[in-house]
Structure 1
């Protein structure tokens, strides 16, 4: 019998809108999590696929010695695509010209991701292909054509083999971003390696295997492969590359994760508020049912059935709306990205449905238990049971549930703790502020009949309810501010790394007598270029006369001096400059002074490595020459940019003391191709490193990430607005009562409207100020811990938070209650009844 009654009550309450709030909250939680998780998963897959072009595969295995053939056999069992590569240097000979080329031999399957860009002849138009050269053919980079004085169709000797030059090699998807091989690259078919006879036992070669396939199969294969890898073999993907792109992809992924976490938090807040409000609205019906003889068991069964039905219905609707939203969003993003986004898996469906059910259960359980304890006497004394409205247990359960949901979604306890702790900080600060402000409202002494007086009195009267509203408003504003500021910081950082005016070509091995002609060439052809930097290599041999430990011969049973100072083994490229280059910042000391002694500015990363301090004297071994230089400054260097950077920069009086070559960088347009070809023909000994296509790839991926982040951010902003709406809607009944009382006492409509507007303005401003404060502090931690960027304060959000919070809350709040203001007193009384 109770089931029939439950369905009848459910139907009536649904028609009257009694279940609208809790239904909307659960649906909001489900659609927010589904759309966010689905979109972020699809965007992440697309970005990962696009980024895989940079290594021509999903994963690659590198080795200095030949790889076991079983690796390929096992990969096929896991249904993975594979391609083989071999790198070596060999001489090329044609037309009595001899040059050392950097050879990359690839199997027919190369590339597994991305495309190779070629031209049919030097003056032809570039186009993309999905494979390398066929047997008997080689593709040469443009510089080799000028050095060897050949054209497409000619023959060239590579090692002991003779090959047909069939194409001009413009770009490979996995070409190194910066390589000294420059424009001396050769692409060879893997089957022709034996024909060259250049690879013999003991030859310096580099092996690589490429893999592509489903992520699950790749992970399973790596589980099999990992125990078999040697120490000098490396397994890597795009995220493992030490490059700005790999780091930026990790940052984008973490941002999307944050957005998903914030979406869950907003949806959970909306659900908690709505569940509590729904149960409060049932206090009177439950009291009436108990008065008419309804048992606690029957009442419990009825409302649990209501909760089950509304939860199932809400989850279905939330999934449907979320699917439509992410489908439309993915279509919109696909148009701008120029690519079809991969389909998402089952995870978004399961995750969003689970979160909807968990939210409904955990956030409704305590209010429902309170609902069952409503005394029958409430029909006579309407205030009975109101003390159950605020429950510490309910708050604790809600907080714990939100934490567990965030942790389960992120899988990262550190990230969850940072966000969760900052959120608790917001709640604590706001609760204290709300108590102080609302309690002080009576002592402000504003004049009677003033809208401000009425607004402050209303705030004080509803201190508990307003404290909850204030916390909800601040959480929504904090999360939105957090993502907006972080998005701007990330995009600004990316744009700084690859600015629009960045050079896209490097010219190296320039002789001193070639500097002026090449510089005049750039000027006459209107090609923007960097300065010409003198370059030489040198080794730090001693500090303050204390020599570093020298390498010893184990063959001769020599023992290393354990007391000797430890240095660095490599010889970095050095230069001398008279001004501090862009992208460098002096962290300690001063730039070069007018002095006869040679001075040096050192990258601050080497300060600890070499145990240096200002005033130390470095002994540099350059070829056979010894140069002493005094350390006058340490520099912070942004190695993520493509600008020329140096570990050590010497003072200008170093000029003329050691032999050098020069290098420069330029920004080329497509129309400059012919002119650059002439330059290479006139100066065949220089090398050109063209990174234009690599920059375009990187900028394209960053643009996609930026667009994706903007779309995800818009979903979170909409969720935040819905949270604010649910909070205001929860207080509509109480506001109706206040309007009726004020009108009965003779208050004018304008006074009531302005008082309501001022109330929301104050709530929004206070919430925005606290949200800005906590967001800025939390951003310092998040930027350093999650994004590996220097944390910084953002003064503008101290104005943006209160102003946007006041406007945002006032507009939404006033819009929600405006219909109440327009209704006459008689209509409002009917609704209240």
Structure 2
């Protein structure tokens, strides 16, 4: 037979197969797999590029070197020699004066070219940096000093003209200076202001932008000679984007959803191919009897799979591109426009993944079908499993393992996942079959059909040991997709409740504390003032930082800057104790401290360790007695380290607090600033609105992935149970000839399916709960929670779903076709 004839026959068989439910299930599962793989590949790449660009625009550069002292000019010279753009920035707090009004601001001193990424937007629009003798100020500065563009303002020993109002600007600095009212002046005016002298506290930044390769060379050079108080910020390690935590969690969820959908689709493809090849054995035997060789039969089946793949690849990729545009529309307000196109290879990744899955899963049944004997037409005996067939199954398993490893990018995790799935499947098969048998025995005396069901279950134990793991794993995967999204949404919503603080007050001096409390009480605002002192870690258990920590740990930002330290007798309500005990007071001269969980894990801190700090020129020690989980995104004052009261007495300090104000309460801002002009008030309503918008849009995007996952799962449920019903047709035909009515046969099938759904639903609930604990801890990084209601809802839902599938997929067996079915077995 020629290749042309084989292709023509493959086309004819493909068209004929489209009438079979099992083949349509295969095509639908393959289309869903290609759609979700393409969507996640393309969307993920475009989001990654957009977030990289957004981060660069927030930084004002591709890379930034930060320091508490002037940066060596040789670094800028080295950057220029590599073809990079560079610019220096100095930023420090200072007072600004307009008549009798004073305001504490963050002054940013810049030089051209600036910024290197992003742009400064002013009103009116000005093309360059402030001219000498002029400044640009944020609206809050002008509002609080009752100024407008063109007015005069005193800064240090110099009078400036307000040339423009700052609408938006990148490179706002780090820490609370990100929120402080800011003013920008030209570097040429700094000397005349006489604000920066010997011993002045200022932050220095050197910005760099250019080709990635040159940036990597410069990064390596800088890191080799970085001082302890310097920090290098790149696009990879920047945390300036307030949305980064939610976006990272969303990315993890989308990756999880894709993995679950691909696993479900792979199960559907494997089962559909197996069932299709079993149903095609008659056709294979006929073709072999007409002179077709086994190799030609394999090529025929392979061509049929390729034709199916081409159709599914076109449809699946088209669906993915439509869903991608929908997701980008949802996230358009959060991403810099235009969104960069994905790399071309990602547009074909889903189709390639589908092809590899289809061929890999199709090889074993394809070879088994080609080994069918012509005698199968007369004697229904399955072809024996040969050594070559087992080797082929092993090769298919290795290929699937490699495919999963490429997706997870972790060989160890892949092997653990596969091992866990195999062990889980074996345990589920044994335990599930036992539960099914015990349940049938318990109900045997209730009804005549139940006694018949018990006999059927005893005869079908091998079949149930194969089917229960598949169905339970399927239900668990669907439940995990739904529960993970629900937990993630709940975490995001709890993270930003309606009464989340929308104002911060910092730089509150001790003599102002009672007055600030009084003003807040007058406006019925609940808040807690936390004392704050800045200190630097100097030793661990008496050993200096240079030797107490590993080189990787010494890169942590907490070891390269001063930390905000606080003290309180009661643990803050928005913190959670995870280890040790909270110490409300010191024990004589021994001070106790509580440390944040991630901070402790990164630096290898343990309960009982003594952590030493330098506050100004004074040494302070504290023994770690507890570890706290801190929700940094809660917009509450949070600290890495909290001391017991008394340890930091008689040291210069200030207070910090946050509160939620709305309606008339918002007038508290003007009242506070009028009475206490030196404190800094930070209004973060705009940030909260942006964060809530992000949560809503990510919810819609993750919901789209969840729907695809559930669709793939429902397809597999229907496919698996349809195969189960096909197996039962022959038993029902025999029962019908022995006197059972069609209604009794139908009731027997539905009773078995209901019991099977109950058992599988219960096993899936337990399996899903265990898997979710691992996912919460390691993947989406949120606190694990139990889902007790789902232990009831999932078995009941599975029972209803299985019963409904049985009603829809079951084909009626009457007396005429009962004899015909039984004759096919003879």
Shorter-chain TM-score tier: 0.7 to 0.9
* Residue of structure 1 aligned with 2:593, choices 589, 602, 619: 602
1:319-718 matches, within 5 Å, as 319-328=317-326, 330-331=328-329, 343-385=341-383, 396-436=394-434, 446=444, 450-512=448-510, 514-526=512-524, 528-535=525-532, 572-577=564-569, 581-585=573-577, 587-589=579-581, 592=584, 601-604=592-595, 634=626, 636-638=628-630, 640=632, 641-646=634-639, 647-651=641-645, 661-669=654-662, 675-718=668-711
Residue aligned with 1:508, SS: strand
Query: 1:555: which partner in 2?
Result: none
Tell me the equivalent position of 1:71: 79
Shift of 1:489: 3.4
Partner-residue secondary structure (3-state), 1:68:
helix
Alpha-carbon distance, 1:817 to partner? 1.2
Match of 1:259 among 249, 253, 257: 257
Distance 1:309 1:272 in 2: 17
Is the CA contact 1:441–1:457 (under 8 Å) kept in the aligned structure 2? no
Distance 1:612 1:384 in 2: 63
Deviation (angstroms), 1:448: 9.8
- Please give the alpha-carbon distance, in whole angstroms, between the structure 2 residues aligned to 1:285 and 1:276: 15
Deviations 1:557-614 (A, max 9, x none): xxxxxxxxxx999675334446754424384346548x99799652145999899978
TM-score after normalising by structure 2: 0.79
When structure 1 is superposed on structure 2, of 150-159 and 719-728 the one drifting more is 150-159
Structure 1 residue 361 displacement after superposition: 1.6
8 Å CA contact retained: 2:571, 2:582: no
Assess if the C-alpha contact under 8 Å between 1:311 and 1:356 holds in 2.
yes
| Conserved 8 A contact 2:610-2:624 | no
CA–CA separation in structure 1 for the residues paired with 2:779 and 2:743 = 50
Q: Is contact 1:530-1:665 (8 Å) kept?
A: yes
> How far is the alpha carbon of 1:165 from its aligned partner?
1.8
**Which residue of the partner structure matches residue 136 of structure 2?**
139
For the aligned residue pairs, the C-alpha RMSD in angstroms reads 4.9
Query: How much does 1:405 deviate?
Result: 1.5
Q: Which residue of 2 aligns with 1:37?
A: 41
- After alignment, is 746-755 or 421-430 more displaced? 746-755
What CA distance in whole angstroms lies between the structure 2 residues aligned with 1:440 and 1:596?
61
Correspondence 1:103 to 2:107:
yes
Query: Is residue 747 from structure 1 mapped to residue 751 from structure 2 by the alignment?
Result: no
Deviation string 1:602-641 (CA, Å, 9 cap, x unpaired) is: 2145999899978x99999988999999x79635251624
Confirm or deny that 1:727 pairs with 2:720: yes
SS of 1:501's equivalent in the other structure is coil
Distance 1:335 1:755 in 2: 56
Deviation at 1:233, TM superposition (A): 5.5
CA offsets, 1:353-377, max 9 Å, x none? 2112212221111211111211111
1:26 partnered with 2:30:
yes
Q: Does 1:7 align with 2:11?
A: no
Out of 283-292 and 159-168, give the one that drifted further: 159-168
3-state DSSP of counterpart to 1:507: strand
For 2:392 and 2:132, how far apart are their aligned partners in 1? 73
Which deviates more from structure 2 when the two are superposed, residues 733-742 or residues 334-343?
A: 334-343
TM-score with structure 1 length normalisation? 0.79
Q: Could you tell me whether the CA contact under 8 Å between 2:138 and 2:167 is conserved in 1?
A: yes
The equivalences for 1:204-353 within 5 A come to 206-209=204-207, 211=209, 219-230=212-223, 231=226, 232=230, 234-237=232-235, 239-241=237-239, 245-328=243-326, 330-331=328-329, 343-353=341-351
Structure 1, unaligned runs of 5 or more: 121-127, 212-216, 553-566
Cα deviations across residues 765-808 of structure 1 (Å, max 9, x unaligned)? 33333333333333333433344555565545544543443344
> For 1:30 and 1:586, how far apart are their aligned partners in 2?
43
Q: Quote how far apart the aligned CAs of 1:234 are.
A: 1.0
Q: In structure 2, do the counterparts of structure 1 residues 727 and 699 end up closer, same or farther at CA, with 3 Å as the change threshold? A: same
CA distance in 2, matches of 1:312, 1:612: 58
Mark the runs of 5 or more structure 2 residues left unpaired by the alignment: 547-558
Moved more, 736-745 or 26-35: 736-745
CA–CA separation in structure 2 for the residues paired with 1:12 and 1:611: 67
1:332/1:536 CA distance change after superposition, 3 Å: closer
- Report the more deviating stretch, 266-275 or 458-467: 458-467
Deviation at 1:400, TM superposition (A): 2.9
Distance of aligned partners of 1:374 and 1:167 in 2 relative to their CA distance in 1, 3 Å threshold: same
Alpha-carbon separation, structure 2, partners of 1:682 and 1:100: 14
Contact 1:93 1:158 in 2 (8 A): yes
Q: Secondary structure at the match of 2:566?
A: strand
**Residue 185 of structure 2 corresponds to residue 188 of structure 1:** yes
Could you tell me which residue of structure 1 aligns to residue 553 of structure 2?
A: none
Assess if the C-alpha contact under 8 Å between 1:438 and 1:456 holds in 2.
Answer: no
d(CA) in 1 for partners of 2:611, 2:287: 91
Query: Is the contact between residue 111 and residue 186 of structure 2 (CA under 8 Å) also seen in structure 1?
Result: yes
8 A contact 2:485–2:702 mirrored in 1: yes
CA contact (8 A) 2:38 2:347 kept: yes
- 2: CA distance between counterparts of 1:665 and 1:328? 38
Q: How far apart, CA to CA, are the structure 2 residues paired with 1:617 and 1:393?
A: 59
CA distance in 1, matches of 2:528, 2:571: 12
Deviation at 1:193, TM superposition (A): 5.5
For the 8 Å contact 1:541–1:621, the answer to whether it is kept is yes
Give me the whole-angstrom Cα distance separating, in 1, the residues matched to 2:717 and 2:239. Answer: 43
Change beyond 3 A, Cα 1:638–1:596: closer
Give the CA deviation at 1:26: 3.3
Query: Contact 1:542–1:620 at 8 Å: present in 2 too?
Result: yes
Q: Classify 1:618/1:14 alpha carbon distance in 2 versus 1 (closer, same or farther; 3 Å).
A: closer
Three-state SS of the structure 2 residue aligned to 1:153 is coil
The answer to whether the Cα contact below 8 Å between 1:135 and 1:191 also exists between their aligned partners in 2 is: yes
Q: Deviations over 1:146-202 (max 9, x none)?
A: 887865432234456542124555775554574269746322346766776767999
> For the structure 1 residues 598 and 676, does the alpha-carbon distance in structure 2 shift closer, same or farther, using more than 3 Å as the test?
farther
SS of equivalent residue, structure 1 residue 500: coil
Q: SS at the partner of 1:229?
A: helix
Could you tell me how far 1:477 is from its partner in structure 2? Answer: 1.9
Cα pair 1:508 1:662 within 8 Å, conserved: yes
How many residue pairs match? The answer is: 792
Q: Is the 8 A contact 1:29 1:271 kept in 2?
A: no
C-alpha separation in 2, matches of 1:530 and 1:450: 70
After superposing the two structures, state which structure 1 stretch, 388-397 or 424-433, moved more.
Answer: 388-397
Describe the superposition over 1:470-493 as per-residue Cα deviations: whole angstroms up to 9, x where unpaired.
232222222222233333333343
Aligned partners of 1:61 and 1:15: how far apart in 2? 67
CA distance in 1, matches of 2:177, 2:7: 78
Preserved contact between residue 60 and residue 207 of structure 2 (Cα < 8 Å):
no
Whether the 8 Å contact between 2:531 and 2:655 is mirrored in structure 1 is yes
Segment of structure 1 superposing worse, 432-441 or 275-284: 432-441
Name the stretch that deviates more: 511-520 or 372-381.
511-520
Q: Is the 8 A contact 1:104 1:188 kept in 2?
A: yes
On the 8 A contact 1:94/1:148 being kept in 2, the answer is yes
Q: Is the 8 A contact 1:540 1:621 kept in 2?
A: yes
Structure 2 residue aligned with 1:179: 176
- 1:426/1:507 CA distance change after superposition, 3 Å: same
Q: Specify the alignment match of 1:778 in structure 2.
A: 771
1:632-681 deviations in whole A, cap 9, x for unaligned? 96352516243234533445x89997776443322234766655234313
